Amino acid sequence: MSVPIEHIKAWINKADHDLGSAKIIFLHLPDYFDTIAFHCQQATEKYIKAILVDREIEFERSHDLIYLLELLPEDIAVSEEKYKKAVLLNGFSVQIRYPNKIDHMTKDELEEAIGIAQDFRNFAIKNLKIVE
């Protein structure tokens, strides 16, 4: 059974909305660092899930990027660097959404989070069987 292309594209589209939101908020409200970081994590999560859906790999409801990366098939090379980036974003999934869970993020840290999400977008597009 093949997953409809529209379903996979919907995952990418939703992830793009998260990444786009992070970029727009960064430009206009950079003090909303928690929201920016959260959207970067959410985008990355959805990009990985798009690959899993495309490959018809079932996954539990989880925000854990490491868990999701470990479900990827062996033909998709996941570098140690990619795991490190995922670990960094993992902290922004739920905890950052509550008061007093993180003091502040610098402009450089926010740019790095956005860059990581963009990197995972490229990773997803490269590893999807469908053509964008």
**CB atoms inside a 10 Å sphere around CB 24:** 12
49-53, 95-99, 124-128: the lowest-pLDDT one: 95-99
Q: What does the pLDDT read at residue 75? A: 93
Does some domain include residue 63?
yes
Q: What does the pLDDT read at residue 98? A: 65
Does some domain include residue 123?
yes
More reliable by pLDDT, 25 or 129: 25
Which whole-number Å values give the CA distances from 49 to 29, 31, 109, 111, in the listed order?
Answer: 28, 29, 24, 23
| For residues 83-88, average pLDDT | 95
| For residues 73-91, average pLDDT | 94
**CB atoms inside a 10 Å sphere around CB 30:** 14
pLDDT digits (tens, 9 = 90+) for 5-42: 899 999 999 999 999 999 999 999 999 999 999 999 99
Q: How far apart are CA 93 and CA 60, in angstroms?
A: 16
Query: Helix or strand or coil: residue 10?
Result: helix
Q: Which helix (H) or strand (E) holds 14?
A: helix 5-28
The Cα diameter of the chain in Å comes to: 47
Does some domain include residue 115?
yes
Q: Which structural domain, as residue segments, surrounds residue 67? A: 5-127
Does some domain include residue 89?
yes
112 Cβ contact list (under 8 Å, min separation 6)? 88
CATH number at residue 113: 1.20.120.330
More reliable by pLDDT, 103 or 70: 70
Q: What does the pLDDT read at residue 130? A: 72
Does some domain include residue 132?
no
**What total number of domains does the chain contain?**
1
Does some domain include residue 11?
yes
